[in-house]
Structure 1
Amino acid sequence: MPLPTEPIGSIPRPAQLLNGIQEHAAGRIDDDALAELYDTAVRETIGQLESLGSPVVTDGEQSKPSFATYPLAGATNLSPEGVVIPFADGHIRQLPTLTAGPFRYGAFAESYLAAAQKYATVPVKQAVIAASALSLLYPADGIAGYSREQFLSDLVDNAEADIRRALDAGAHSVQLDFTEGRLSLKLDPSGGVLDSFVELNNRVLDRFSPQERRRIGIHTCPGGDQDSTHSLDIDYADLLPKLFTMHAGTFYVQLASESDPDRVLRLIADHLPSDARVFIGVIDPIDPVVETPEQVRDRILTAARHIPVDRLGTCDDCGFSPFGDDVSTSRDTAFAKIRARVEGTAAASTQLGL
């Protein structure tokens, strides 16, 4: 069989949808009109991915406000003044902060999966946010009557439900977005925060059977947004050994934008669990230049010198538009890059005799 290849998640939203979101916010179109725009964008995204030969598709996160905050829909116990995430170009993203308990998801990823399954004729992958990212919502000075321990217990329950509902609804795989892993080493070079993130995510993952965990993956990247990143300068050598201690069956590792991919591949080969598969990033969503299938093929052949082909797959480094307002990459460019990934993976598979 050829090497598996999967998208990571977000695809830039079409201009009609972006305009509709603004019109809805201004009160000029109603909820039903916006829902129709979302549905159209999902249908067109899946149709385009399938036309490119993608063997696994996603909804492109067309209706998610962001990859990180979708569970917070409708929450009234939040304040906007939360953790600030600085990017290399100077712009920031800011998480909200919890003001009162209990913590509950207001939306589950299963709803996005169901919307995609209406149109997909191939398997559908579903991305969810890792519990570790949402743990940053709890304020440093605590909440009266709602301890951090109780918050984490509620968070683990909800994160488990988010994954389990997607698996039970027929997701091909469920990908936990863990961009905060690399960022944590910038915030705390000692690695203590990273250790706590890994421990928390394993509390969630340990609630699943070994068979279920084979359908659960962890995605790491340096947080692409608006053609910038928040932690590309952090050495993978400090992250990957701990990343691979998470109890998942699959890992999706950003690689195309790394300056020394051979060094990263050696780290992967040294630390990848014996029963896990790694999907390596062969497309850089931030680079405006579209990769050729030949470049993708050669990146894969390089990886195959380090990693057994039966434990290897390909993906994009990151989503192309993880926040709904990110228009730094065009929709056409994203699809052209995905075409190169699909065709380059097929070419490498042929050359490897698969």
Structure 2
Amino acid sequence: MNIPTEPIGSIPRSPELLAALQAHAQGHIDDAELAASTNQAVADTISRLEELGSPVVTDGEQSKPSFATYPIAGLPALDPDGVVIPFADGHTRQLPRLTGGPFRYAVRAARYLETARRHASVPVKQAVIAPSALSLLYPADGIDGYSREAFLGDLTDQAEADIRGCLDGGAHMVQLDFTEGRLALKLDPSGSVLDDFVALNNQVLERFSETERARIGVHTCPGGDQDSTHSADVDYAGLLPRLFQLKAGAFYLQLASEPEPEKVLAVIADHLPADGRIFVGVIDPVDPVVETPEQVRARVLAAARHLPVDRLGTCDDCGFSPFADDTSTSREIAFAKIRARVEGTALAARDLGF
């Protein structure tokens, strides 16, 4: 048995793909030409991950406009003036605002999975957006003729179908991206919003069997966009006890960028769920300095002093480019960091007797 290691999701898009996306937006190339460029980028991403020895791969989210908005790409009932998410460096991202119902996904993640599996020779993991994130699309002042309760019912159905399609499509794991968890505590320190998010996500997770939930994980981090975060100043101690209430089979936790990782590991150990694997982040995508395998090994060994080794895994803190236009980290640096994670995890596994 080895210590499993998995990517979180996004890899910076290649210059060729970014150029194709811009050309498509300007009407210079058609949908088929863009699809060909995207398919080439997916194939290259998976090939390079496999060359690095990654036992599990993703498509690097090459086809997604962003990790959060892929289900609503092209949806007509949207206005651009939705919830604004501020980042520590001063830049913002803005979600669209839903203007009518019923709410339906325009794109399902199984489509990305199907393409990735055609290129992969190892298991493929598929990231999906948590329903709690998409709940932010509904405006605070409501929508005439479409209640919030009706919206949440539709959202729950759509999120279930998105996950189930990936499970049925052969995903090794389906990962719910829940970066809004820590942000919820920043916006509402009382924890009420976070509790609502957890309850909504559990409404979806409870629709799956225990066997199915063993293949569903939850990822959390303080955001990572243009080398900045939106909620790194929020204490993990407020999030983790609630996070572990989610009925998932794995938890992917940002840790490498934490200023006091031993403190966080102690909190994890105190609130460790009865079941499920804990994947600790050993790579910081926001830091441009590439970690060494020895640094990764030290981080894994530190985690092993707090957590059961047979339930331990490693991952990156978050995706390297969760929004398609984020070029703050180069593709080459991302792959170099992933190599360090794979090699460092293997070093730690040998030290631990695997």
Read off the aligned partner of 1:150 and give its amino acid letter: A
1:255 maps to what in 2? 255
Per-residue CA distance 1:217-274 (angstroms, 9 max, x = gap): 0000000000000000000000000000000010000000000000000111111212
Aligned AA for 1:69?
T
Pairing of 1:261-272 with structure 2 (within 5 A): 261-272=261-272
Aligned position for 2:70: 70
Aligned to 1:148: 148
CA distance in 2, matches of 1:348, 1:92: 38
Supply the distance in 2 between the matched residues of 1:79 and 1:212 (Cα, whole angstroms). Answer: 36
Equivalent residues, number:
354
Q: Which residue of structure 1 lines up, in the alignment, with residue 222 of structure 2? A: 222
Q: How far does residue 276 in structure 1 lie from its aligned partner after superposition?
A: 1.2
One-letter code of the match for 2:106?
A: G
* Partner in structure 1 of residue 275 of structure 2: 275
- Cα offset, 1:73, TM superposition: 2.0
- Code of the residue aligned with 1:225 in structure 2: it is D
> Aligned runs of 1:78-93 on 2, under 5 Å?
78-93=78-93
In 2, the alpha carbon distance for the partners of 1:100 and 1:39 equals 33
> What residue identity is the alignment partner of 1:322?
P
C-alpha deviation, 1:295, in angstroms: 0.2
Rounded to whole Å, the distance in 2 between the matches of 1:187 and 1:295 is 34
TM-score computed with the length of structure 1 as normaliser: 1.00
**For the residues of structure 2 that align with 1:17 and 1:302, how far apart are their CA atoms?**
39
The farther-off stretch of 269-278 and 147-156 is: 269-278
Q: Distance in 2 between matches of 1:72 and 1:58?
A: 21
Distance in 2 separating the partners of 1:137 and 1:74:
15
Match of 1:234 in 2: 234
Paired with 2:227 and 2:53, the residues of 1 have a C-alpha distance of 27
SS at match of 2:234: coil
Residue 299 (structure 1) aligns with: 299
Structure 1 alignment gaps of length 5 or more: none
Q: Alpha-carbon deviations, 1:157-197, whole Å to 9, x = none?
A: 00000000000000000000000000001111110000000
Shift of 1:115: 0.6
SS across alignment from 1:118: helix
Structure 1 partner of 2:192: 192
Structure 2 counterpart of 1:138: 138
Structure 1 match to 2:316? 316
- SS of 1:225's equivalent in the other structure is coil
* SS of the residue 1:218 aligns to: strand
What's the counterpart of residue 23 of structure 1?
23
Q: Partner residue of 1:108?
A: 108
Code of the aligned partner of 2:333: T
User: What CA distance in whole angstroms lies between the structure 2 residues aligned with 1:105 and 1:37?
Assistant: 24
CA–CA distance in structure 2, aligned partners of residues 138 and 180 of structure 1: 15
Letter matched to residue 79 of structure 1: D
Q: 2:183 maps to which residue? A: 183
Q: In the alignment, which residue of structure 2 is the partner of 1:289?
A: 289
- Structure 1 residue 30 displacement after superposition: 1.0
Per-residue deviation, residues 305-343 of structure 1 (Å, max 9, x unmatched)? 000111100000000000000000000000000000000
1:345 aligns to what? Answer: 345
Q: Distance in 1 between matches of 2:331 and 2:340?
A: 14
- Aligned sequence identity (%): 73
- Specify the alignment match of 1:95 in structure 2: 95
Would you say 1:61 and 2:61 are equivalent positions? yes
* Cα distance, 1:74 vs structure 2: 2.1
How far apart, in 1, do the equivalents of 2:288 and 2:126 lie? Answer: 26
Give the stretch that moved more between structures: 221-230 or 269-278: 269-278
Return 23-32 or 6-15, whichever deviates more: 23-32
2:161 is aligned to 161
Q: 1:33-59 CA deviation, whole Å, 9 max, x = no partner?
A: 110000000000000000000000000
- AA paired with 2:181? G
**1:111-146 deviations in whole A, cap 9, x for unaligned?**
000010010000000000000000000000001111
Q: Distance in 2 between matches of 1:5 and 1:267?
A: 22
Q: Give the alignment's Cα RMSD to 1 decimal.
A: 0.4
Looking at structure 2, the residues matched to 88 and 74 of structure 1 have their Cα atoms a distance apart, in angstroms, of 30
Structure 1 window deviating more from structure 2 (91-100 vs 23-32): it is 23-32
